[in-house]
Amino acid sequence: MSEVTKNVSETSAATLQTMRERDMQKVSAKQKIVKICVQTALYLFLGVMALIVLFPFYWMLVSSVKTMPEYIRPIPTLIPHTWDFHNYVEVFQNEDLLLGQLFANTLFVGVVSTLLSLIITVLSAFAFARLEFKGKNLLFAALLATMMIPGELFTITNYQTVNSFGWLNTFTVLIVPFLVSVFYIYLLKQNFQQVPNELYLAAKVDGTTDLKYLWKVMIPLALPTLISITILKMMGSWNSYMWPRLVANDEAHRLITNGLRTAFTSAEGVTDVPLQMAAIAVVSAPLFLVFVFLRKYIMKGVSRSGIKG
């Protein structure tokens, strides 16, 4: 009798185990289906968002190879009927645009402002990260508080200041007012603070000066962040529009963004949009190449600055 009971118990246990395995397989199959559905929906959403973001660039490139009669047709064409690459040749030959001078002006302002801004940012970040002086924390908190104020609020006061200095229509007015960036100082300060303070104290014991320690130790360790700051500052100078338009819009100091605004508009007020789109594509190409080849440095520098070790 006990043998029969044992066999029945073993059979029941085996049946129960089989049922559990089937239930687990069903749950696992449902989880896989849900996961696949979620991933599919996510990729569809990201794909739609990517198309929305990329469509203006596609429209710019397509419009740049259209003729003016095709561009002004009532029904827009997503693919040009006639591919007119002469627009790109006209961009470099246009006497009203003077693309070479615009490139030279913008490059000069970008390089000089970036170098000076780097010097100010490195010295300020090092002072807040390593040096001890009275009111340091209060001063740094005040600097961070200025980040909450929109930059547009300073436009009028900045204009009155540079006008009183006689800087209008000069390269100085395009460079000096924006040399200090609180965000860049904060970013680099966070990176400097990841270096152990004991290393700084040991260097001071050996008689190393602050500037030598900064140049030999801190800057090499913070190089990815410095590269990120350089790229972002250069791109900001390249894309600047409102301030150059306000303070230096003469031909000798005009930058690319403002030069493209009225270069292809006739006396009757008609703008040759395909030609303007070709010029915008040419001007945007350097920034696109910089982002493609140097994006890893931007991400690496920002990510390292956000982690305090």
Per-position b or e across 197-231, b if 16+ CB within 10 A of its CB: eeebeebeeeeeebeebbeebbbeebebbbbbbbb
pLDDT above 70 for 220: yes
- Is there a single domain that holds both residue 18 and residue 107? no
Q: Is the pLDDT of residue 4 over 70?
A: no
Angle among Cα 263, 280, 270 to the nearest 5 degrees reads 40
Same domain, 167 and 281: yes
Residue 76: inside a domain: no
Single out the residue in 49, 64, 79 at which a domain terminates.
64
**Quick check: is 150 in a domain?**
yes
Residue 82 inside a domain? The answer is no
Does position 7 have pLDDT exceeding 60, yes or no? no
Number of Cβ within a 10 Å radius of residue 269? 6
Domain stop point among 64, 79, 110: 64
* Cβ atoms of residues 103 and 255 within 8 Å: no
How many domains, the chain?
2
Residue 248 belongs to some domain of the structure: yes
- Give percent of the chain above pLDDT 90: 19
- The mean pLDDT of 15-22, rounded to a whole number, is 67
Confirm whether 149 is domain-assigned: yes
pLDDT digits (tens, 9 = 90+) for 234-261: 888 888 888 888 888 787 888 888 877 7
Average pLDDT over residues 27-39: 84
At which residue do the structure tokens 């680099």 appear?
Answer: 188
| pLDDT value at 203 more than 60 | yes
Q: What is the CATH number of the domain that holds 227?
A: 1.10.3720.10
Which structural domain range is residue 47 located in? 2-64
Q: Is residue 77 part of a domain?
A: no
For the ranges 41-50, 95-104, 242-251, 286-295, the maximum mean pLDDT occurs at 41-50
- 272 close to 68: Cβ distance less than 8 angstroms: yes
Residue 238 lies in a domain: yes
12 or 156: whose pLDDT is higher? 156
| pLDDT of amino acid 55 | 92
Q: Please check whether residues 137 and 276 belong to one and the same domain.
A: yes
Q: How much is the pLDDT for 304?
A: 58
Q: What is the model's pTM?
A: 0.75
DSSP string, the chain: -HHHHHHHHHHHHHHHHHHHHHHHHHHHHHHHHHHHHHHHHHHHHHHHHHHHHHHHHHHHHHHHTS-HHHHTSSS--SS-SS--THHHHHHHH-TTT-HHHHHHHHHHHHHHHHHHHHHHHHHHHHHHHH---TTHHHHHHHHHHHTTS-GGGGHHHHHHHHHHHT-TTSSHHHHGGGS--HHHHHHHHHHHTTS-HHHHHHHHHTT--HHHHIIIIIHHHTHHHHHHHHHHHHHHHHH--HHHHHH--STTT--HHHHHHHTTB-TTS-B-HHHHHHHHHHHHHHHHHHHHHHHHHHHHHHHHHT---
Query: Phi then psi for 265, rounded to 5 degrees?
Result: -105, 125
Q: Determine the average pLDDT of the residues in 8-14.
A: 58
Rg (CA), the chain: 30
